[in-house]
Amino acid sequence: MRFILFALLGMGLFIPSVHARPVSYPGGWTTMIMNNGDRHSLHLHYSPTAKYSLGYKLEYWRDGDYTINTLQMNNLLKRWNMPDAQANLYLKSGVGVAYSDNGNFDGETDLAAFTGIAADWENRRFFTSYENRYTEAGDIDDFYMQSARVGVAPYIGDYGDLHTWLMLEVEHTPEAEDNFTVTPLVRLFKDVHLIEAGVSNHGDVLFNWIIRY
């Protein structure tokens, strides 16, 4: 299964200003490719309205050596529009199947599901976000994780410019051996493309690519 994920990531299946948000504008498609020290993932979703999105998510978890395929639904629970800022609260849930290539569970398939909330606030200069998730995959794995980010834009660009953010991400997975991961990263976006790159305190590379169309 991991080879299917790597093939998809390499095929260029990437689908106006871009933000890493789980719900797009009505009729919008988004492709998110995420890579860090824990996992590789591909998430393709469609937003029928500005309130929710439906899509497919494929994840490969490196330490556990298993994949999860899910149908994912993201709901915008609340949006706060302020004169110079915006804040959002989302519910993100998925259900599907996990497949393991690891040790005693090699070849095992089990039902999998996850749920969690995501929140963000930003203006043109500053950014903050928080996200959590609980995942249950039968005998293959179950875990809770949470992450938070802060960011600052070193300059304020105009519409159509290349926009730059300097960010710091902290991820906490209580059951992991290295349960705190700190990653400084750079976010760049222009037109429909958003790219993030950084290196964590464990030496793992973070690389994310989001395209909205």
- Which CATH number does the domain housing residue 83 bear? 2.40.160.40
Instruction: Give the closest residue to 5 by CA, choosing from 95, 101, 73.
Output: 101
Tell me if 75 sits within 8 A of 51, measured CB to CB: yes
Q: How many domains does the chain contain in total?
A: 1
Three-class SS state of 200: coil
Confidence of residue 4 (pLDDT cuts 50, 70, 90): very low
AA identity, residue 17 = S
Domain extent for 198: 2-212
Residue matched to tokens 């464990």? 202
Digit-coded pLDDT (tens) for 155-203: 998 988 999 999 999 999 998 888 999 999 999 999 999 999 999 999 9
Tell me if 196 sits within 8 A of 187, measured CB to CB: yes
| Beta-bridge mates of residue 203 | none
Instruction: Give the closest residue to 127 by CA, choosing from 159, 88, 74.
Output: 88
Return d(Cα 144, Cα 163) in angstroms, integer: 33
**pTM beyond 0.85, yes or no:** yes
